[in-house]
Structure 1
Amino acid sequence: MLKVLAAAALATTLMTSLASAAEKKVNLAYVEWSDAVVATNLLAETLKKEGYAVTLTPLPAAAMWQAVATGEADAMVAAWLPATHAAYYAKLKDKVDLVGPNVSGAKIGWAVPTYVDLTSVEDLKTKGAEVGKKVIGIDPGAGLMQASEKAIKDYGLTNINLVDGSDATMTAALKDAIDRKQPIVVTTWTPHWMFGRWDLKYLADPKGSFGGEETVNTVARKGLDKDMPEVYKVLKNFKLSLDDEQKMMLQNEEKGANPAANAKAWVAANPDKVAAWTK
Structure 2
Amino acid sequence: MMQKLMAAAAATALTALGPLAIAGDKGEVELAYVEWSSEVASTNLVKAVLEDMGYDVKITPVSAAAMWQAVGTGDVDGIVAAWLPTTHKHYLEKVADRVDDLGPNLDGTRIGLVVPAYVEIESIDALNAAADKFDGKIIGIDPGAGLMSKTEQVIKDYGLTDMDLVEGTGPIMTAVLGDAIEDNEWVVVTGWTPHWMFAKYDLEYLDDPKGIYGGKEQIHTIVRKGLKDDMPEVYAVLDNFSWTPEQMAELMIWNQEKRSDPYANAERWIEENAALVESWKP
TM-score normalised by length of structure 2: 0.90
Alpha-carbon separation, structure 1, partners of 2:273 and 2:28: 24
Residue 178 (str. 1) matches residue 181 (str. 2): yes
- Aligned to 1:127, the other structure's residue is in SS state helix
Which residue number in structure 1 is paired with residue 232 of structure 2?
229
- Aligned pairs, number: 259
- Aligned to 2:29, the other structure's residue is in SS state strand
Q: Is the 8 A contact 2:73 2:98 kept in 1?
A: yes
Alpha-carbon separation, structure 1, partners of 2:247 and 2:207: 26
RMSD of aligned C-alpha atoms?
A: 1.0
- Aligned to 2:127, the other structure's residue is in SS state helix
- AA aligned to 1:68 is V
Which residue number in structure 2 is paired with residue 192 of structure 1?
195
- Aligned to 2:160, the other structure's residue is in SS state coil
Compared CA separation, residues 113 and 127, structure 1 to 2 (3 A): same
Please list every run of 5 or more consecutive structure 2 residues that lacks an aligned counterpart in the other structure.
Answer: 1-23
Q: Is the 8 A contact 2:109 2:193 kept in 1?
A: yes
Alpha-carbon separation, structure 2, partners of 1:99 and 1:180: 44
Work out which of the residue numbers 145, 148, 154 in structure 1 matches 2:148. Answer: 145
Task: Give the drift of 1:22.
Answer: 8.0
Work out which of the residue numbers 255, 261, 266 in structure 2 matches 1:263. Answer: 266
Residue 45 (str. 1) matches residue 48 (str. 2): yes
Please list every run of 5 or more consecutive structure 1 residues that lacks an aligned counterpart in the other structure.
Answer: 1-20
1:129-154 per-position Cα deviation (integer Å, ceiling 9, x unaligned): 11111100000010000110111111
- Aligned to 1:175, the other structure's residue is in SS state helix
Task: Give the drift of 1:125.
Answer: 2.2
Task: Give the drift of 1:126.
Answer: 1.2
Task: Give the drift of 1:23.
Answer: 5.3
- Aligned to 2:110, the other structure's residue is in SS state strand
Task: Give the drift of 1:35.
Answer: 0.3
Alpha-carbon separation, structure 2, partners of 1:92 and 1:57: 19
1:37-93 per-position Cα deviation (integer Å, ceiling 9, x unaligned): 000011111111111111111111111111111111101100001110011001111
Alpha-carbon separation, structure 1, partners of 2:184 and 2:270: 38
- Percent of paired sites with the same residue: 51
Alpha-carbon separation, structure 1, partners of 2:243 and 2:41: 10
Which residue number in structure 2 is paired with residue 71 of structure 1?
74
Which residue number in structure 2 is paired with residue 85 of structure 1?
88
Work out which of the residue numbers 112, 126, 129 in structure 2 matches 1:126. Answer: 129
Which residue number in structure 2 is paired with residue 275 of structure 1?
278
Q: Is the 8 A contact 1:23 1:228 kept in 2?
A: no
Which residue number in structure 2 is paired with residue 158 of structure 1?
161
- Aligned to 1:262, the other structure's residue is in SS state helix
Which residue number in structure 1 is paired with residue 6 of structure 2?
none
